[in-house]
Amino acid sequence: MSDQPIAKPLAPVTTPRDRIVKARGTRRSMLDDPRMLGWGSVALVLIAWELIAILTGVNELYLPRPTQIGIALFDMFVNGRLVVDLAATLARVFGGFFIALAVGVALGIWIAAFARVRAVADMFIAALYPLPKVTLIPLLIIWLGTGGPFMLTISALGAIFPIVINTVLGVRQCDPGLVLAARDLGATQRQVMRLVLLPSAIPSIFAGARLGLGVSIILVVAAEMVVGKVGLGSRLYLAGQVLETGQVFAVLIVLATLGIIVTKIQDHIDNRVSRWRLA
């Protein structure tokens, strides 16, 4: 068709360079960039918050200004206490989490591999999994006191259920053909577990670990609020008790930042693990 080449130039032809030149100096450019939009809106809210607080003269006991929160946060870091609290909380969360990961994966494989173990474990998991783990805090304090063992236990307890359940799921979804192939090549039952069931369950195990770590963080901070002398939870609770609202906000910011970092790291690990999956 002879008119086809004519139709083409009618479509707007824009190269990236054109767009930059055209957009320069217009308001549209900022609104097109999602990063700019995200950070810009946060900045806008903070500025609005600061201005409204100044204009209405609201008591900083109820709502401190962002600048006051920033100063409180800086002060808490500089005099060292917050770093100690953060380190204590992280040690408790990850200490318990890694215990749960090791025990939970081993337990999950064992449960998945043996029908009898599964029959027993199903009852206990059904009873304990839906139980809100915070309700165990009083009992654990009676048994373990309020020190390190208590904190590690509550953290591990939070993480272990999603890890066990997902490990069982992952192992059960393993292609039975792979188990047969391994046995054919001379694998013992133990080797089948370690070299076939475990690797084929890895994507599922990571999904469980992801959920478990979230629960660990919640439980450790909650436990710290109840009994801790150091840790982000206890710092938060104490700041609230003495009406240091700026410090309360500062701890919340640290917790939120921690959440962002943990999520990003998990996203990164998930990306790597997903390559493990079958195409």
Partner 1 sequence: MDAPGVAIEFDGVGLAYAVQSGAPTIALDDLRCRFAPGKVTAIIGPSGCGKSTMLQIARGFLEPTHGHLRFVEMSGGKSADRPAMSTVWQAFNLFPWLTVIENVEFGLRLAGLPAAERAARARRALAAVDLLGFEDKVPRQLSGGMRQRVGLARALVMEPEVLLLDEPFGSLDAQTRLILQEQLAALVEKSGTTAILVTHSIDEALLLADTILVMTARPGRIAAELAVDLPRPRSMATTHNPAYGVLFDRIYGLLRDEVMRAMVGERAGA
Q: Which is nearer to partner 1, 264 or 277 (CB)?
A: 277
Is 269 a binder of partner 1 (CB under 8 A)?
no
Question: Shortest gap between Cβ of 209 and partner 1 (angstroms)?
Answer: 18
Is 58 a binder of partner 1 (CB under 8 A)?
no
Site string for partner 1, 157-176 (x = CB under 8 A): ------------------x-
Is residue 251 within 8 A of residue 228, CB to CB? The reply is no
Site string for partner 1, 176-215 (x = CB under 8 A): -xx-xxxxxxxx---x---xx--xx-x-------------
Question: Shortest gap between Cβ of 199 and partner 1 (angstroms)?
Answer: 5
Q: Which is nearer to partner 1, 125 or 187 (CB)?
A: 187
Is 3 a binder of partner 1 (CB under 8 A)?
no
Question: By CB under 8 A, how many residues form the interface with partner 1?
Answer: 21
Give Cα separations from 76 to 83, 123, 154, 248, 266 (angstroms): 8, 47, 27, 11, 28
Question: Shortest gap between Cβ of 212 and partner 1 (angstroms)?
Answer: 23
Residue whose pair of structure tokens reads 């369950």 in the numeric block: 201
Q: Which is nearer to partner 1, 202 or 252 (CB)?
A: 202
Q: Which is nearer to partner 1, 25 or 186 (CB)?
A: 186
Q: Which is nearer to partner 1, 34 or 186 (CB)?
A: 186
Is residue 259 within 8 A of residue 214, CB to CB? The reply is no
Any idea of the CA torsion for 138, 139, 145, 149, to the nearest 10 degrees?
-110
Half-sphere exposure of residue 56: CA atoms within 13 angstroms, side-chain side = 13
Nearest to 162 by CA among 137, 184, 133, 140: 133
Is 279 a binder of partner 1 (CB under 8 A)?
yes
Is residue 171 within 8 A of residue 113, CB to CB? The reply is yes
CA-to-CA distance for 121 and 112, rounded, in angstroms?
10
Q: Which is nearer to partner 1, 134 or 273 (CB)?
A: 273
Nearest to 152 by CA among 83, 238, 219: 219
Residues of this chain that bind partner 1 (CB under 8 A): 175, 177-178, 180-187, 191, 195-196, 199-200, 202, 276-279
